[in-house]
Amino acid sequence: MDRVVELQLWQMAAAYIFVVMLLFIARIRGISREKEILISSIRMTVQLILVGYILDYLFNNINPLNTIVVIVVMEAFAIHNIIKRTKEKLSKPLKKIIALSMTFGTLASLIYFLLAVINISPWYDPRYFIPIAGMLIGNSMTGISLGVTRLVDGMDSEKHLIESALMLGATPKMATKQIVDNAFDSAILPTINSMVGMGIVFLPGMMTGQILSGISPVTAVSYQIAIMLGILGSVSITVILFVQLGYKTFFNEEKQLIENE
Amino acid sequence: MFKEVKYKDILNIKHLSIKKNNITCIVGESGSGKTTLLRLLNRLISHDHGEIFYHDQPLSQIDPVKLRRAVTMLPQTPATFSGSIKDNLLIGLEFAERPLASDNELYELLKRVKLNKELDQDAAKLSGGEKQRVALARVVLMNPEVLLLDEPSSALDEDTEHIIIEELVNYTRKRGKTLIMATHSKKVASQFSDQMIEIKDGKIINGKGV
Ligand SMILES: Nc1ncnc2c1ncn2[C@@H]1O[C@H](COP(=O)(O)OP(=O)(O)OP(=O)(O)O)[C@@H](O)[C@H]1O
Ligand SMILES: [Mg+2]
């Protein structure tokens, strides 16, 4: 680790020249984005510094309770984010399904990943637990967000076809198969695509970080492969749970489409 | 048979019985509640007062999916599913989880609804009236006990309408089916129906011909 260049404060400050540059360009071109640029730069800085200190604290105070609190906060934040980011109006049962599939899907794959794949001990070791949980939850969040939008849009725009299928004696499952499949497909597509470009088009953030902090590229790569597969698993489990349970919330027990009033 | 049935403030039926193996036409001005009545029979919506009976069994005690496979409805705006004409005809049988029909039967069926088209043609490119006939053929192919047809000929010219409805009536009589049809055409209603139900503002004002 002796080759690692510790960034000095002034070096970090030097990187802000890029923000100044962008502000300058925006000013000259008359693009009124200064406020957003400033706010997002400041938010990024403050949030990361905070996270740095929090992680530092957690790594020095290793106990299961801390780890559990962190994962609960992460899940809650992710679920809140999915619901807030969706423009469509979501029914209460659907929100519950989002929370349920997010929690269950990410936790199941996280536990498998930590215990069977990496085999960490103790199980709550924050140095592994937290970053890996973050990656699984973050990617699953993006996946479900896409799935939610697709499902809700589809149920709305194809209402007539769904109803016509019901009239012919289709079960809700048959009537919505196309929409459910589409939602699943569009939710996992980004994850699949990102695997294709991996290593060629871009170096994933986690690996870059590890390499910069002095770990051998080969070790970094093997972690990256494992985590990519973990992400794939977590996204698929959460999304399949969501669509399989989610479409049902649009029907009542009499197999009728629920009217939203 | 209907007893004291209410649906929101749209329909209010004291008593109505629709005979088996008969052809029943529902007439009434636009917005009077014809579609609502058919949807109740298909249990696509549920009445919130009273009870509807099918074969002396309350509708609420019949499994909705099973009911819809026996009492099948054609919506007012015909649905066209993505795929070919063949896909569109067979999808009803698929939904009902029944064995599919052969191409010969399908061509036979198309002939009966006066559609001279190839089975593999894209259904999305059909005209409005052609789509309506495909949707009608789909219901007929399912061979349900009761056919609930919501203005099955609204997009057809008068001559084609006459041919199709006549064909439909023959089919119903020959196979001993029950046909319940909402229609705007007084001519069709008076010519073919055994029973005519007239609705006004959600109330039955005339149930003659029983
Ligand atoms: N789900 C619903 N919620 C509220 N009002 C409804 C609903 N469905 C139908 N209506 C209203 O009930 C009335 C009857 O509608 P319905 O579709 O049964 O008429 P209809 O006789 O079939 O008319 P048309 O001949 O134009 O098809 C209309 O005023 C309609 O606006
Ligand atoms: Mg109508």
What's the pLDDT score for residue B209? 42
Q: How far is A165 from chain B (nearest CA, A)?
A: 7
pLDDT value, residue A220: 85
Q: Nearest ligand to the C-alpha of residue B199?
A: 1
Is residue A120 predicted with pLDDT exceeding 80?
Answer: yes
- If one compares B11 and A206, the residue with the highest pLDDT of the two is B11
Q: For residue B6, how far is its CA from the centre of ligand 1 (angstroms)? A: 14
DSSP 3-state of B192: helix
Report chain B's terminal Cα–Cα distance, integer Å. Answer: 13
Nearest-Cα distance to chain B for A260, in Å, is 14
Which ligand has the minimum distance to the alpha carbon of residue B29?
Answer: 1
Find out whether A199 and A254 touch, Cβ atoms under 8 Å.
no
At a CB cut-off of 8 Å and minimum separation 6, what does B8 contact? Answer: B48
Q: Which atom of ligand 1 is nearest to the CA of B76?
A: 27
Task: Annotate B164-198 with b (16+ C-beta within 10 A) or e (fewer).
Answer: bbebbbeebeeeebbbbbbbebeebbeebbebbbb
Indicate the pLDDT class of residue B210, thresholds 50, 70 and 90. Answer: very low
pLDDT above 90 as % of chain B: 70
Closest CA to B93 of B57, B137, B54: B137
ipTM of the complex in this document: 0.92
What is the reported pLDDT for A72?
Answer: 96
Q: What is the pLDDT of residue B208?
A: 52
**Can you tell me the distance from the alpha carbon of A137 to that of A183, in angstroms, rounded to the nearest whole number?**
19
Task: Give dist(CA A46, CA A98) in Å, integer.
Answer: 30
Amino acid of residue B49: H
Cα four-point dihedral sign B69, B74, B79, B80 = positive
Nearest Cα residue to atom 30 of ligand 1: B31
CA nearest to B136, candidates B117, B157, B155, B158: B155
Residue B141's identity, in one-letter code, is L
Closest-CA residue of B relative to A251 is: B44
Res A127 pLDDT > 80: yes
Confidence at residue A60, expressed as pLDDT on a 0 to 100 scale: 92
Backbone angles phi, psi at B34, to 5 degrees: -65, -50
- The atom of ligand 1 lying closest to the CA of B28 is 21
Helices (H), A158-171: 159-167
Q: Which residue has the tokens 């637990």?
A: A129
Helix (H) or strand (E) holding B8: none
pLDDT grade for A9, boundaries at 50, 70 and 90: confident
What is residue B48's predicted lDDT score, i.e. its pLDDT?
85
The Cα B105–Cα B98 span in angstroms is 15
Give residue for tokens 């200064």. Answer: A34
Phi, psi of B56 (to 5 degrees): 70, 5
Distance CA B147, CA B38 (A): 10
pLDDT of residue B207: 61
Residue B29 in this model has a pLDDT that exceeds 80: yes
- pTM equals 0.86
Picking from B148, B153, B207, B205, the residue whose alpha carbon sits closest to that of residue B172 is: B148
What are residue B135's phi and psi, to 5 degrees? -65, -40
The pLDDT, as a whole number, for residue A4 is 64
Q: From atom 8 of ligand 1, which residue's Cα is the shortest distance away?
A: B36
Report the residue of B35, B43, B44 to disrupt the A interface, i.e. the one with the largest count of A CBs within 10 Å: B44
- Between CA A164 and CA B139 the distance in angstroms is 11
Give the span between the Cα atoms of A194 and A165, in whole angstroms.
36
Rounded to the nearest angstrom, the gap between the alpha carbon of residue B185 and the centroid of all alpha carbons in its chain is 15
Tokens 């006459």 sit on residue: B162
Residue B103 is encoded by which pair of tokens? 């191409």
Q: How far apart are CA B79 and CA B88, in angstroms?
A: 9
pLDDT digits (tens, 9 = 90+) for B80-95: 999 999 999 999 999 9
End-to-end CA distance of chain A: 62
Four-residue CA torsion sign, B49, B53, B56, B57: negative
- Whether the CB of B128 sits within 6 Å of ligand 1: no
- Per-residue pLDDT at A261: 55
Mean pLDDT of all residues belonging to chain A = 90
For domain B2-81+143-204, the question of CATH label 3.40.50.300 is answered with yes
CA atoms within 13 A on the CB side of B127: 8
* Phi, psi of B4, rounded to the nearest 5 degrees: 50, 40
Percent residues over pLDDT 90 in chain A:
65
**Any idea which of A145-149, B12-16, B27-31, B104-108 has the lowest mean pLDDT?**
B12-16
CB A171, CB A255: distance < 8 Å: yes
Q: Which residue has the higher pLDDT, B3 or A205?
A: A205
Please check the confidence at residue B15 and state whether its pLDDT lies above 50: yes
CB contact under 8 A, A167 and B46: no
Of the candidates A167, A247, A260, the residue with the CA atom closest to the CA atom of residue B81: A167
**Average pLDDT in the B28-37 region?**
92
Q: What is the pLDDT of residues A63-113, one digit of tens each?
A: 999 999 999 999 999 999 999 988 888 999 999 999 999 999 999 999 999
What is the tens place of the pLDDT at every residue in B83-138? 999 999 999 999 999 999 999 999 999 999 999 999 999 999 999 999 999 999 99
**CA atoms of B122 and B129, how far apart (whole Å):** 15
Å between B35 CA and nearest CA of chain A = 13
Q: Do B72 and A254 touch (CB under 8 A)?
A: no
| Rounded Cα distance, A93 and A196, in Å | 36
Q: Which amino acid is at A40?
A: S
